[in-house]
Structure 1
Amino acid sequence: MSRAVRDLVAKTRFPVAFGGLVTEHSVHVRAIVGARGRSIDGLVVREQRGLGGRAMSERRPRLTLDYRSARGITHDYDGAILGEGIATLFAVPVVSSGRTRAMLYCGSWSETAVDDGIAAPALRVAGELATELRIHEEVERHLARAETAAPEAGWDAAAREELRESFAELRAISATVADAGLRARLAGVERRLASVAHGAPTETTSGVQLSPRELDVLACAARGSTNAEIATDLALKETTVKSYLAAAMSKLDASTRHAAVAEARRAGLLP
């Protein structure tokens, strides 16, 4: 969120920007850049109230060039917005899976025309944040499922395949995550999944070391994905997938991808 708000100021030329996540039908402003005062700090905007609340409920951007005299919105938050001296306010909802997940605002202290040169970058920032929030949501879902796993005897084939599917999906998601802390947490869960599947410590049982990308590709191959499907999942070229797969096969001394998967499982690299 902080990065998105900074990007708004850098890419739209609006001097002030702020935003927050939506919880319980309200946006809680947590990130602010460029404000001259503190009137926006801690602002909570309810759905359908104010310019942002309307944009939140309608799931589309809303603009007012003169906030003080704006019609068609409630003025519940005049104290915060006018207290900052904002005249032009552009409210952009961050929509993911059909619902508003966050709100971003751009403002200026004078009336500012908003053309495509300003609106388009703001919409791109909102789209990038929507993608990141969707990824985080997907990651959390897989983490919750993965962290319930326990090394119990008598696993059936379906349970083991579900664990392997989660491992592969987590690898694919991790490849798209910019947050270093989240990637580290994912890596820890992936190691735990591998150890759960083997009922053994997380350290590998051989000297084979695969690069992160080689492991990504092999994990996808383990669930039966074609090279084209792996390329799509990992946002790679198909020729690059083939190169990573060939490198993994060479390190594992395997002549086929199936043999490479089997060797990687024996080595504790895959569940």
Structure 2
Amino acid sequence: MVSVDTAHRCAERAVRTRLLELQRVTGLPVVFGGAVPGGAREGRFAITAQVGTITDALSGLVIRRGRGLGGTALERGVPCRVDDYAAARAITHDYDTMVAEEKLTSIFAFPVRVEGEVRSVLYGAVRSGDPIGDRTVRQASLVASRLQADLRFPAEVPPAAVGGSPDEGADGTRRALVELADIIATTSDPRLRERLACIHREFSGASAAPEPPGDPRDAEKLTRRETDVLRLVAVGASNSEIADRLDLSVQTVKAYLRSAMRKLEVRNRTAAVHVGRAAGLL
């Protein structure tokens, strides 16, 4: 039995290692993050690891649930991205001073969930003013899947593996799940993606408990779940991947998408993302 303190220390070490990998595979100049003690129910986490920063502004910064970009990712359990942090309307601006000190412009926050609970949040950022592309966020999702495996079995990740190469010390099942996640993310065949995602869910033990959609009579604004679904659509996730990440059924995801498209007065998911971003909803 692993104690809470030991598990958290292992989680912090895993986060540090995966941040190095995140910077390597994405080429982002700045990455940072931290483990969430007790899961999202704790309501906060601290940024304890960072690569590429130029000040101490982010070091030890406590991010609270629902506040800022990372707090929104913690609360909703879905990736959040802003192309112009200072002007973003979909988040609060509690941490503007720290972000400004680091001169960060575009940022994403990627929550890592284990058994339905957010256990870590990884950030990536640029200072150039350019947006962070979908491909970069997709690459981040692969790193997040590896961190998810680390956090799922903290006692099975020896120090050499935590500080060494990404797959060193991982057992065969975990390596297979990582490889499967890579295939799911890169295949262009939607039917194959869905079949592989089902297999991934079955062997990773992810649940898929349905959640009822929001009130369809509320046509004034998107519900929280509709927004969550569109955020995942924005990073290229398929319906099955969205269902897996949000613990919904595929049919429920489709219902949220139909409702969101109706409210935004568009006919397809891509247009819904564009209109949602333009309206400051994402």
Please give the TM-score of this superposition, normalised by the length of structure 2: 0.50
Partner of 2:21: 7
> What's the secondary structure of 2:47's corresponding residue?
strand
Match of 1:179 among 159, 166, 175: 159
- SS of residue matched to 1:4: helix
Q: How does 1:114-263 map to 2 (within 5 A)?
A: 114-136=132-154, 139=155, 174=156, 177-180=157-160
Larger radius of gyration: 1
Corresponding residue for 1:40?
Answer: 58
1:17 aligns with 2:35: no
**Residue 50 of structure 1 pairs with residue 50 of structure 2:** no
Match for residue 31 of structure 1 among 26, 29, 49: 49
1:65/1:234 CA distance change after superposition, 3 Å: closer
Q: What 5-or-longer segments of structure 1 have no aligned partner?
A: 140-173, 183-215, 217-230, 236-271
Match of 2:110, SS? strand
| Distance 1:78-1:232 versus aligned 2 partners, 3 A rule | closer
Which AA in structure 2 matches 1:65? Answer: D
CA distance in 1, matches of 2:161, 2:144: 22
Name the CA distance, whole Å, in 2 between partners of 1:106 and 1:45.
15
Distance (Å, rounded) in 1 between the aligned partners of 2:67 and 2:148: 22
Partner Cα distance (1:39, 1:126) in 2: 24
- Cross-structure match for 1:191: none
Q: How much does 1:38 deviate?
A: 1.4
The alpha-carbon distance between structure 1 residues 232 and 105, as it changes in their structure 2 partners (threshold 3 A), is closer
| Alpha-carbon contact 2:105-2:125 (below 8 Å) kept | yes
Structure 2 residues without counterparts, runs of 5 or longer: 1-14, 163-170, 177-282
Q: Aligned AA for 1:17?
A: V
Amino acid at match of 2:113: V
- Percent identity over the alignment is 37
Is the 8 Å Cα contact of residues 64 and 71 (structure 2) preserved in structure 1? yes
Q: CA deviation at 1:30?
A: 0.6
User: How far apart are the structure 1 equivalents of 2:174 and 2:53?
Assistant: 40
Partner residue in 1 for 2:131: 113
Alpha-carbon separation, structure 2, partners of 1:119 and 1:93: 12
Aligned to 2:36, the other structure's residue is in SS state: strand
Secondary structure of the residue that 2:53 maps to in structure 1? coil
Higher normalized contact order (CA 8 Å, seq sep 6+, divided by chain length):
2
When residues 57 and 18 of structure 1 are mapped into structure 2, their CA distance, relative to the original with a 3 A threshold, is same
Partners in 1 of 2:175 and 2:32 — Cα distance? 32
Structure 1 match to 2:104: 86
- Contact kept? 2:105, 2:127, Cα under 8 Å: yes
Distance verdict in 2 for CA 1:63–1:178, change over 3 Å: same
Secondary structure at the aligned position of 1:72 is classed as coil
Q: CA RMSD in A?
A: 2.3
Name the CA distance, whole Å, in 1 between partners of 2:94 and 2:48: 19
Task: Give the counterpart of 2:80 among 52, 56, 62.
Answer: 62
